Amino acid sequence: MYQTYFGLHENPFNVTTDPRYLYVTQRTQEALNCLTYGIEARKGFILLTGEVGTGKTTLLNKLLETLHQQRVATAFVFNPRMPASQLFDYMMADLGIECKSHKRNHVLFKLHQWLLDRYQAGEHTVLVVDEAQILSRQALEEIRLLTNLETSAEKLLQIVLAGQPEIEQKLNRRELRQLRQRIALRARTVPLTQEETSGYILERLRVAGANGEEIFSHSAVDAVHRHARGIQRVTNLLCEQALLRASVSQLRPIPAEIIDDVARDFSLDEVEDFAPPDPQEGTSGNGNGHRNGRKRKAPKVRDSRTTGKNRFMQSGHEPPLGITQVKLPLFVYGYGPDGNPFYEDACTIAMSARGGLISMNTSVKPGQRLILTNKENECSQECVVEFLGARLARGVDVGFEFPAPTPDFWGIRETEKNPISESEKACA
């Protein structure tokens, strides 16, 4: 519908990971260069990490497209939930290696001989595993054993592991230290800056056939970045819905108000405001103040409002409705100011479906994105730091918010009554 109205020949914001639509920022180019160098230099293991929706799979598809043009043999595993034995068989089939025997030693011998033949011919072979954060320990160990296929000087098989930051957590386990020590290069994808968001939108429109006329107003692009926070997948959602609504209303260029409407409908405009205590407000009978958290819309969307259910509290005070005070063990993952990842064990002070309060020793900033893993059900979820409390002996109290209400993330008590299956435990 909207393609005709805006003069496009295809959907520019499709959710598919078409490498034609890869928008190459400086950080994206650095990641692609790292992967390419690691393969050409036969470094063995290469790790690509990035938060949900930051373009990892699109980058991998671009890498695979380039490798195919160079006649590099590749195997691409995009469903790592399969058992370790099936993972190995799938790789053999994808590489086109036939082996009449199904005995593991015969298969490995066949693979080793095949890789040696390619190596002597000056050719490369690459195994790419996407969504590696959900690989089982056994599957990771099987992949590590493949690095034993080598000459006295170089690796015969180059392996790219790509996944969300939780893969770093897995690799830090003691039983996987041999695999961790073999990772020669690390690359990562990151959210877009505001300037990059503008370029990202324009480039995708160009590839889809735009003739250069303005489709998104400058204020609309700013609104997209404000709501998506640089996450490409969310940017695609906002832009596609905005194109559809603008075509129905015959609006061009698209105004910021349409972006705000889409964000509101998809609950992308709500930010939990963990504000400091207001000295004007009353205190409880024992003299203890409380913190009023106001669920507000992002700037220029709608007025802030306060409701009893959406209030948050400081640790040590009576929680309002909807807030639970439970000490729950978490694993916290993020990137420090120097760009290097950090990991920390923490415990909740309080929690709700929209966020929570934890105490941390690592310094973080409001607006920073973190990955939390609930150690009791192994679910992982992205969150955004909303406020910092005073530094106490236990650390700094950090209030955080989920991008959308996530009650299942805290599903720890019900698991005692209704055990969760292994497939349900694997949370993206």
The CATH number given to whatever domain includes residue 369 is 2.40.10.220
Instruction: For residues 153 and 261, state if they share a domain.
Output: no
pTM higher than 0.85: no
Count of residues making up the chain: 428
Work out the burial of residue 125: count CB atoms within 10 Å of its CB; fewer than 13 is exposed, 13-18 middle, 19 or more buried.
buried
Instruction: For residues 114 and 100, state if they share a domain.
Output: yes
For residue 349, give the H/E element and its range.
strand 341-352
In whole angstroms, give the CA distance from residue 362 to residue 342: 8
Instruction: For residues 37 and 164, state if they share a domain.
Output: yes
- Give CA 425 to chain center in angstroms: 17
Contact by Cβ (8 Å): 275, 293: yes
Q: Is residue 313 part of a domain?
A: no
Q: Is residue 294 part of a domain?
A: no
Instruction: For residues 179 and 257, state if they share a domain.
Output: no
Q: Classify the phi-psi angles of 113: left when phi > 0, otherwise alpha if psi is within -120 to 50, otherwise beta.
A: alpha
Non-local (6+) Cβ contacts of 245 within 8 A are 258, 261, 262
- Give CA 80 to chain center in angstroms: 17
Instruction: For residues 74 and 162, state if they share a domain.
Output: yes
Residue 313 above 50 pLDDT?
Answer: no
> What average pLDDT does this structure show over 416-425?
38
Instruction: For residues 93 and 175, state if they share a domain.
Output: yes
Q: Is residue 282 part of a domain?
A: no
Residue 373's beta-bridge partner residues? 331, 380
Q: Is residue 315 part of a domain?
A: no
pLDDT in tens, 254-300: 999 999 999 999 888 654 433 333 333 333 333 333 334 444 444 44
Instruction: For residues 337 and 223, state if they share a domain.
Output: no
Contact by Cβ (8 Å): 372, 198: no
pLDDT in tens, 378-402: 777 888 898 888 777 778 889 998 8
Q: Give how many domains the chain has, as a whole number.
A: 3
Among residues 241, 265, 289, the one where a domain terminates is: 265
Pair of tokens at residue 107:
């298969």
In whole angstroms, give the CA distance from residue 41 to residue 153: 11
Domain that holds residue 69: 26-189
Instruction: For residues 6 and 115, state if they share a domain.
Output: no
Among residues 153, 169, 189, the one where a domain terminates is: 189
Q: Is residue 408 part of a domain?
A: yes
Instruction: For residues 242 and 335, state if they share a domain.
Output: no
Instruction: For residues 40 and 9, state if they share a domain.
Output: no
Q: What is the CATH number of the domain that holds 54?
A: 3.40.50.300
Q: Is residue 310 part of a domain?
A: no
pLDDT of residue 322: 57
pLDDT of residue 103: 75
Among residues 189, 216, 233, the one where a domain terminates is: 189
CA dist 263 → 6, 9, 266 (Å):
21, 26, 5
Out of 13-27, 49-63, 320-334, 413-427, pick the least confident.
413-427
Q: What is the CATH number of the domain that holds 231?
A: 1.10.8
Q: Is residue 274 part of a domain?
A: no
Q: Is residue 296 part of a domain?
A: no
When the pLDDT of each residue in the chain is averaged and rounded to a whole number, the result is 80
Residue 218 above 50 pLDDT?
Answer: yes
In whole angstroms, give the CA distance from residue 260 to residue 298: 9
Non-local (6+) Cβ contacts of 382 within 8 A are 51, 52, 369, 370, 371, 372, 402, 403
Instruction: For residues 217 and 131, state if they share a domain.
Output: no
pLDDT in tens, 357-374: 898 988 888 888 888 888
Instruction: For residues 173 and 215, state if they share a domain.
Output: no
Pair of tokens at residue 299:
């700037």
**Angle (CA) 368 370 372, round 5°:** 155
- Percentage of the chain surpassing pLDDT 90? 44
Pair of tokens at residue 396:
């700094």
